[in-house]
Amino acid sequence: MSEYNDKIKEISARLLKECQVDMVIGFRKGSMPMMNEPCFINNAEDAAQLVWDSNCGINLANYLTNRKEKIGIIAKGCDSRNIVTHIIENKISREQLYIIGVPCQGMIDKHKINAMFEGEIQDVAENGQKITVTIDGKENALEKADVLQKNCAVCIHRNPVIFDEMVAEPVEEQKDVDRYADVREIEAMTSEEKWNTFEELLSPCIRCYACKNACPLCYCPTCFVDESKPQWVGKGQDPTDVRTFHFLRAFHCGGRCTDCGACERACPVGINMRVFTKKLEKDSFEQFGWEAGLTLDERPPLDTYRPDDPDDFIR
Amino acid sequence: MGIEPDRIHYSWISSAESTKFVEVVKEVTEKVKALGPNQHFAKHEAKVA
């Protein structure tokens, strides 16, 4: 994927030089391995800072909310779907955007790689499907397929769904992936088992809200967790409040979540809160035939009514 | 979510359907009584040593 670098720099420099956009949102190398950081590039000379590799898991659509200027944005499959969602929800207009589409081959899971090794990782380099992790000067070889982020391993929309220019030919989409094995496992549990599973899942949560800050859907000016009149949810680490936060956040993402994995990636304690959003994603698909962010021409299921909407639960 | 399915009921009752309202309320009450008090999503006082 890193071969896209030159093309991204070239397109971005051109857009800025020709004043087609006021800035380009992309990634530059972070100060730590596997942590590329989002950056705003304002002039053509700085476009050389832009990078692309398997550590660009942050969802850049997050930086578009209510922006007024013309923006060039680097978008992989999931970013592009969140850009569509942003446009549908009037958080940015299509005319303001020049979307530089990047066919994605998956991002690597920094939690997983960190957990695989003892000691501090000094460098993570990639060459095609090979990942080389350097620790204490010693190189360890990994296969990228083994260390993909969990959401990337089951991704079926790697190519951008909306773009003005692509940096490369589309990649082949993954077929025959079982997207919801983990959700089905939980669905099969009794309510008591579910309760205990979630209790365990959420027990490490420190309420840092990294998940909601990384999420492009969480753009409310005041989040319900921060409201004080009324205070919907307690602010501490009481398990009831932690659970209320995670459940409500997931429900707010119902029919909107693209499973970009930004929340899980951002979590400092490695909670897989994606099981909640994935359940809603599965329901949206099964009950309404809806996958978020694929088209600008259709309204999401939660803001439309259709006479054939499922209503078996009402008696 | 870990909440017992019988604790939550959805129904559509018109203002003209008084008998249906009574039926539904009776049934909901019976089912929830059978489950007993809700233990989940309830905050318990911190245990002081």
Average pLDDT estimate for A24-38: 93
Average pLDDT estimate for A51-59: 94
User: Nearest to residue A81, comparing CAs of A295, A313, A286, A299?
Assistant: A295
Alpha carbon distances (Å) from A121 to A33, A38, A55, A111 = 7, 21, 14, 12
Q: What is the pLDDT of residue B2?
A: 84
pLDDT, greater one: A314 or A106: A106
Where residue A128 falls among pLDDT bands split at 50, 70, 90? confident
Q: What is the pLDDT of residue A1?
A: 63
Average pLDDT, chain A: 93
Q: What is the pLDDT of residue B44?
A: 73
ipTM for this model: 0.81
User: Does pLDDT of A314 surpass 90?
Assistant: no
CB contact under 8 A, A194 and B1: yes
Tokens 């592009």 map to which residue? A80
Residue range A141-183, pLDDT digits in tens: 999 999 999 999 999 999 999 999 999 999 999 998 999 999 9
Cα–Cα distance measured from residue A108 to residue A114, given in angstroms and rounded to the nearest whole number: 11
A178 three-class SS: coil
Cα–Cα distance measured from residue A186 to residue A294, given in angstroms and rounded to the nearest whole number: 27
CB contact under 8 A, B1 and A244: no
User: Does pLDDT of A187 surpass 90?
Assistant: yes
User: Does pLDDT of A63 surpass 90?
Assistant: yes
User: Does pLDDT of B40 surpass 90?
Assistant: no
Helix (H) or strand (E) holding A24: strand A23-28
Q: What is the pLDDT of residue A2?
A: 65
Cα–Cα distance measured from residue A241 to residue B16, given in angstroms and rounded to the nearest whole number: 40
CA closest to A242 among chain B residues: B41
Residues in chain A within 8 Å Cβ distance of B5 = 191
Backbone φ and ψ for A171, nearest 5 degrees, come out as -90, 160
Residues in chain A within 8 Å Cβ distance of B42 = 240
CA closest to B28 among chain A residues: A315
